[in-house]
Amino acid sequence: MQADTALRERYDKLQKVVQHHRYLYYVLEQPEIADSAYDELEQELVRIEHEHPEWVTPSSPTQRVGGEAQTAFKKVTHVVPQWSFNDAFTPEDMREFDARVKRGLKVERVEYTCELKIDGLKVVLTYKHGVLETAATRGDGVVGEDVTHNVRTIPTVPLRLERDIDCIVEGEVWMSEKALAKVNHEREKNDEPVFANPRNAAAGSIRQLDPKVAASRGLDTFIYDVAQTSDDLPQTQAAELQYLKELGFKVNPHFKLFDSIDGVIEYWKEWQRKNKSQGYWIDGVVVKVNDRTQQDTLGYTGKAPRFAIAFKFPAEQVTTVVEDIVLQVGRTGVLTPVAHLRPVLVAGSVVSRATLHNEDEIRRLDVRVGDTVVLQKAGDVIPDIVRVLTDLRTGKEKKYQWPSKVAECGGDGSIERIEGQAAWRCVYKDSFAQLRRKFRHFASRSALNIEGLGPSTVDALLEANMIQQYDDFFTLKEGDLLQLEGFADVSAKKLVESIKKVADGIPLARLLTGLSIPQVGEETALLLARQYKTIDDVMSAKEDELQTINGIGDVVAREIVQWFALTDNKHLVMRLKKVLQIKNPDYEYPRVTLGEDAAASERNTRSQKPLFGKTFVLTGTMASMSRDEAKEKLRKLGADVSSSVSQKTYAVVAGEEAGSKLDKAIELGVTVLTEQDFLALLTKHH
């Protein structure tokens, strides 16, 4: 009997300790003990419950997944009506909201609480004497569905509160992008349809009949509102969030107080830039009058509170109409179909163009002139057409016919499909359209980086016949430039000095990038500069030799050899050597030997670098440095930098407004580094 009493005391304490460490790990993300230690405590709890099942209560930490699969969801009538928010989309909308609030309160200044609006599924949790009794969906605001059996499986939902009170709280169930990638990977393996986004996945998981399935989905929560409590209700929204934390709930840490609507708008702008950085979807900012007495004074309309509003981020997916499809000639002669759209506001900017990539993509989408389409912009400069809304077709839409000739290609306008690719290109290589793009690229930031030589100046020089080859840039005089509209003595002198500065020392990699060799971008150019000392060495390289370089395949090797084999290109390089001092700071290592030992030889030479063998991908913008500076720092530490994400990628560095590369990294489970993480990595290996 005495042994049972001691064991019961041990059991009661274990419940509290295990629950405490669950809270530290899942809610505060500040574990105090190792996972293995926590596992031992939980296993001991399980063993005692196995011996004494009569002691087990619904609030035990072991009871998150329990019971049989449900056959249906019971209806739950909400004790407190579940309101929805009115929406605001622009700063002007918010100023109007602010004016209404001040009129309603008859005051000149109001304090607002701003909270991130998590894109998940709303849940209402009811506790009796501190124990979770029910969890329900919002439903229609009056009646929801009982999803207690699934919500119990979420580690951040306390089964017992820190105080034995009665309360009803509201929050959001969400799924991280990383968890979504894992779930969709499993669904693909099982030939099941994948979830379109984390919100759909969270909703689908909460409505699983079997709680074991919900438990496997990696769901999480943020609780943000106290609808009812047996305690005295906190008098401000900020105090309410602190109260929720003290009860044991997970509260989003990024809320902030402002005493003016200008501060609210700046907060919205800040998170509009940062909304991809948290691993969960954020679709706006919830703005509430902070003072509860003022909230009660303002009250509610028929469907929404007057004291709060959802300040939505600009839409990243909209609909518009395709007005035309036009072929655009690139600098290497490749033809890109571009959809001309009815102008539409997407992700904060007006868009009237979208790339269709190639002929195969047009066929896959079956996009036609006159179609209504879904347009998506998620970090990329040029948005994509996601799909066609065929149900809106009238029969007047026109299928796009791929032409046999394109006048902008020059010559007789002939085009050809590139062998083994979905792309078409001009047969004639020297049309004005191609020349303009080539010359713009040659002077651009990613190539020779000639300051002041922007696209409009390049076009003006070409149209005035002042340049016909790349080397002509380096023979320009101030008097030549003064003939162009917009140039005066100072600006002409400044551009000539900028051109001379580049001519006095251009890195080999930048020159190779600027030459518009097919398949040779910044990364391939750097691989070549690392392998070869001079441009003459690159010119004389054989196809099989180039293929021994890690990162250069047979297609790229063939394009390089073919480009340098052309007499015109050989002459161009000879002329550039006369006007440029070509340096090679990337030539840090001796040229590798050919044959089976080539890769091993390079590894032995570079293996002393701390990040050797690791491939990084950069996406978005960083406040502390440019992308080129970040690449340079990584290469000095022995790392490789790639332009695409794959299973071989070591890490993706995600700055502000990170785009599809971040999505790909999350999908593949590749490590994602924030700017702070990246700076810490550089400091560690400095």
pLDDT digits (tens, 9 = 90+) for 493-518: 999 999 999 999 999 999 999 999 98
CB 208 within 8 A of CB 214: yes
CB 164 within 8 A of CB 130: yes
pLDDT at 278 over 70: yes
pLDDT per position as a tens digit, 236-258: 999 999 999 999 999 999 999 99
Q: Which residue has the tokens 């993480």?
A: 677
* 551 burial level (CB within 10 Å; 0-12, 13-18, 19+): middle
pLDDT for position 302: 63
Q: What is the mean pLDDT of residues 43-62?
A: 79
pLDDT for position 226: 95
Q: Looking at mean pLDDT, say which of 97-111, 338-352, 396-410, 551-565 comes out highest.
A: 97-111
CB 305 within 8 A of CB 97: no
Radius of gyration of the chain (CA): 31
**Which of 351-355, 493-497, 549-553, 674-678 has the least mean pLDDT?**
549-553
**Which of 88-92, 103-107, 225-229, 464-468 has the least mean pLDDT?**
464-468
> b vs e for 247-273, b when ≥16 Cβ sit within 10 Å of the residue's Cβ?
bbbbbbebbbebeebeebbebbeebbe
Query: How many Cβ atoms from other residues are within 10 Å of residue 478's Cβ?
Result: 15
Q: Looking at mean pLDDT, say which of 112-116, 211-215, 403-407, 491-495 comes out highest.
A: 112-116
pTM: 0.47
263 against 483, higher pLDDT: 263
pLDDT at 349 over 70: no
Confidence of residue 523 (pLDDT cuts 50, 70, 90): confident
pLDDT for position 336: 86
pLDDT at 628 over 80: no
pLDDT at 117 over 60: yes
pLDDT at 152 over 50: yes
Distance, in Å, from the CA atom of 60 to the CA atom of 638, rounded to the nearest integer, reads 51
Confidence of residue 601 (pLDDT cuts 50, 70, 90): very low
E strands in 26-152: 75-77, 87-88, 112-118, 121-128, 131-137, 143-145
pLDDT per position as a tens digit, 351-392: 788 889 888 889 999 999 999 988 876 444 457 888 888 888
Distance, in Å, from the CA atom of 314 to the CA atom of 268, rounded to the nearest integer, reads 11
Confidence of residue 148 (pLDDT cuts 50, 70, 90): very high
Distance, in Å, from the CA atom of 610 to the CA atom of 22, rounded to the nearest integer, reads 37
pLDDT for position 28: 56
The tokens for 238 are 């900020």
Give the type of residue at 431. Answer: S
pLDDT for position 322: 94
Phi, psi of 320, rounded to the nearest 5 degrees: -160, -175
Closest CA to 495 of 456, 532, 536, 454: 454
**Which of 102-116, 419-433, 594-608, 667-681 has the least mean pLDDT?**
594-608
Q: C-alpha distances in angstroms, 211 versus 44, 75, 179, 193, 326?
A: 23, 18, 17, 20, 52
Average pLDDT over the chain, rounded to an integer = 84
CB 619 within 8 A of CB 658: yes
Q: Which residues contact 51 (CB under 8 A, 6 or more apart)?
A: none
**Which of 242-246, 394-398, 586-590 has the least mean pLDDT?**
586-590
Distance, in Å, from the CA atom of 574 to the CA atom of 555, rounded to the nearest integer, reads 25
Catalytic residue among 13, 75, 117, 493: 117
pLDDT at 393 over 90: no
Give a three-class secondary structure readout of 281-311: CEEEEEEEECEHHHHHHHCECCCCECCEEEE
Q: What is the mean pLDDT of residues 26-32?
A: 56
Confidence of residue 263 (pLDDT cuts 50, 70, 90): very high
Distance, in Å, from the CA atom of 559 to the CA atom of 520, rounded to the nearest integer, reads 9
pLDDT for position 272: 85
117 as an active site residue: the answer is yes
- The β-bridge relationship of strands 671-673 and 651-654 is parallel
Q: Which domains does the chain have, with CATH numbers?
A: 2-63 (1.10.287.610), 87-312 (3.30.470.30), 317-392+399-417 (2.40.50.140), 432-504 (1.10.150.20), 608-686 (3.40.50.10190)
Q: What is the mean pLDDT of residues 171-190?
A: 88
